[in-house]
């Protein structure tokens, strides 16, 4: 490792038109971000630098190379120390699928995606978890309760109607233009309605 480092310092000294010596190697100072462009031109590579916010844990790029060299290295800067990033997707917490370009947030999700969904020509998407309808709060009733108004006041009574639909997916092959294709329409099998409305007299 030391021999390899000495060789690289010697190459950099040659690029800087300096005479390499053992003293130069032993006293070689750390380089600032502004000096990385000289490193890129010397070793013919592009250098990107990332850092992580200590409070939020978010990783962001603080230096983006504009060099078009084939070799690219990514460095993680932490407390003025540089660490080589071997897997940039893992550091950024993003795992892209090279087949369909979907971006997953864990390696396990990417693994499951490649085994299942990415194999399909058509991916059906539905709501992950149904949500219950919550009506907006009665503003007048809220103000009466807030200011402790009581007595002969008649509160407005909210009315509710709840619908429950059950359906099945019937395979079909129909198109609506060049970009839209219907694969499985919803075929209703039952509808339930519940309400709190008083019967009309």
The 10s digit of each residue's pLDDT in 138-177 is 777 777 777 776 666 555 556 667 777 787 877 777 766 6
pLDDT given at position 180: 67
Ramachandran assignment for 17, one of left (phi > 0), alpha (psi -120 to 50 degrees), beta (any other): left
pTM passes above 0.75: no
Strand-pairing partners, residue 73, are: 47
Q: Say which DSSP state 68 is in.
A: -
How far is Cα 193 from Cα 24, in angstroms, rounded to an integer?
Answer: 85
> How much is the average pLDDT of 64-90?
82
Q: How far is CA 13 from CA 16, 17, 21, in A?
A: 5, 6, 9
pLDDT of residue 1: 64
Average pLDDT over residues 48-69: 80
C-alpha Rg value of the chain to the nearest Å: 32
Query: Per-residue confidence at 191, pLDDT binned at 50, 70, 90?
Result: confident
pLDDT value, residue 161: 73
Q: Quick one: pLDDT at residue 179?
A: 63
Q: Could you give phi then psi for residue 189, rounded to 5 degrees? A: -115, -25
* CA dihedral of residues 49, 53, 54, 55 (deg, nearest 10): -170
Q: Who wins on pLDDT, 53 or 84?
A: 84
Q: Give mean pLDDT, residues 88-98.
A: 73
pLDDT at 119 over 60: yes
Quick check: 59 and 93 in contact, CB under 8 A? yes
Phi, psi of 135 (to 5 degrees): -70, 155
Q: How much is the average pLDDT of 42-60?
A: 81
Q: Whole-angstrom Cα distance, residue 134 to residue 129?
A: 15
Rounded to 10°, the helix 36-43/2-15 angle is 100
The pLDDT, as a whole number, for residue 130 is: 61
């Amino acid at each position: 490792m030391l021999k390899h480092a000495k060789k690289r310092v010697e190459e950099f000294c040659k690029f800087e038109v300096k005479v390499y010596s053992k003293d130069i190697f032993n006293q070689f100072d750390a380089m600032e971000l502004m000096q990385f462009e000289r490193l890129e031109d010397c070793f013919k590579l592009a250098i990107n630098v990332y850092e992580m916010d200590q409070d939020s844990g978010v990783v962001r790029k603080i230096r983006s190379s504009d060099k078009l060299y084939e070799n690219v290295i990514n460095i993680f800067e932490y407390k003025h120390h540089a660490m080589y990033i071997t897997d940039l997707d893992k550091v950024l917490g993003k795992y892209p699928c090279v087949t369909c370009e979907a971006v997953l947030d864990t390696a396990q999700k990417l693994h499951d995606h490649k085994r299942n969904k990415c194999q399909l020509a058509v991916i059906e998407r539905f709501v992950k978890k149904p949500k219950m309808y919550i009506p907006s709060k009665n503003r007048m009733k809220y103000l009466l309760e807030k200011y402790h108004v009581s007595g002969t006041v008649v509160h407005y009574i909210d009315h509710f109607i709840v619908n429950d639909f059950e359906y099945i997916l019937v395979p079909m092959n129909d198109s609506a233009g060049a970009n839209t294709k219907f694969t499985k329409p919803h075929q209703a099998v039952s509808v339930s309605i519940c309400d709190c409305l008083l019967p009309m007299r």
